[in-house]
Amino acid sequence: MHYNIIGEPMPVVVCDLAAEESMITEKGSMVWMSPNLEMTTSAGGVGKAFGRMFSGESMFQNIYTAKGAPGMIAFGSSFPGSIRAIQVSPDKPIVAQKSAFLAAETGVELSVFFQKKLGAGFFGGEGFIMQKISGNGIVFVEIDGSAVEYDLKAGEQLIVDTGNLAMMDATCSVDIQSVKGLKNKLLGGEGFFNTVVTGPGHVVLQTLPLSSFAGSIASVLPNRS
């Protein structure tokens, strides 16, 4: 499989497949394809289906296969931002925000990632459950806004505002940190908690979380009540 990521702020990834090669994706992600691409829908087993549902994805996945000859298929981002291609392997899975998964080679698997600390799950900005992307192959993930990347050493920390953590190596850990001072909590406009990411590992942040964007839009909409 060869790919090319084009267009911003609404990018697409165009994948060129060999004959009988397949890609998996969530429903609604395909934007165009050659006529010989054949789609099948699969849950991939009850356990995996419920795992994807709890991690923020659909229970069912679409599998596109180039039948009889090489083919082309494009997958489009659902929100202004960027698409990143990540190579995962059995010894190097990643952890991503809910709904980050766009498409992948068939050797890639999605599962539930439970935070080791309950506080990080309830207050960390991405909910109690995130997605773990593992297996072997290339996965395409969606980033809200622009992506900013850091490599953390063992024990090195990064304090991140709620919702700005897009993905990280599974070797990183996540916790929450309360904003100090009652005045800062109530008047600072930054909320009560920040997310603390601890290395070692690679961390990708996003500059325009969907939750923040939705809140900004809602604040200027007329009140019809």
The answer to the question of residue 162 being in a domain is yes
The answer to the question of residue 222 being in a domain is no
Burial pattern 171-195, b for ≥16 Cβ within 10 A else e, equals bbbbbbbeeeeeeeeeeeeeeebbb
How much is the average pLDDT of 188-204?
79
Total tally of structural domains belonging to the chain: 1
Whether the per-residue pLDDT at 205 is higher than 80: the answer is: yes
Residue 76, domain extent: 2-215
The answer to the question of residue 221 being in a domain is no
Whether the per-residue pLDDT at 59 is higher than 80: the answer is: no
pLDDT at 42: 81
The answer to the question of residue 103 being in a domain is yes
Would you call the peptide bond into 200 cis, given omega within 30 degrees of 0 as the criterion?
yes
pLDDT at 51: 52
Picking from 13-17, 58-62, 83-87, 177-181, which range would have the lowest pLDDT averaged per residue?
A: 177-181
Rounded CA separation 37/84 (Å): 23
CATH of residue 28's domain is 3.60.160.10
The beta strand positions in the chain, using DSSP E, are 2-6, 12-17, 22-25, 30-33, 37-42, 61-66, 71-76, 81-88, 94-96, 101-105, 108-114, 129-135, 137-144, 147-152, 157-160, 165-169, 173-178, 193-198, 201-206
Q: How confident is the model at residue 183 (pLDDT cuts 50, 70, 90)?
A: very low
The answer to the question of residue 220 being in a domain is no
pLDDT tens-place string over residues 116-152: 555 544 544 444 568 899 999 999 999 999 899 999 9
**pTM of the full predicted structure?**
0.80
One-letter amino acid at 27 equals K
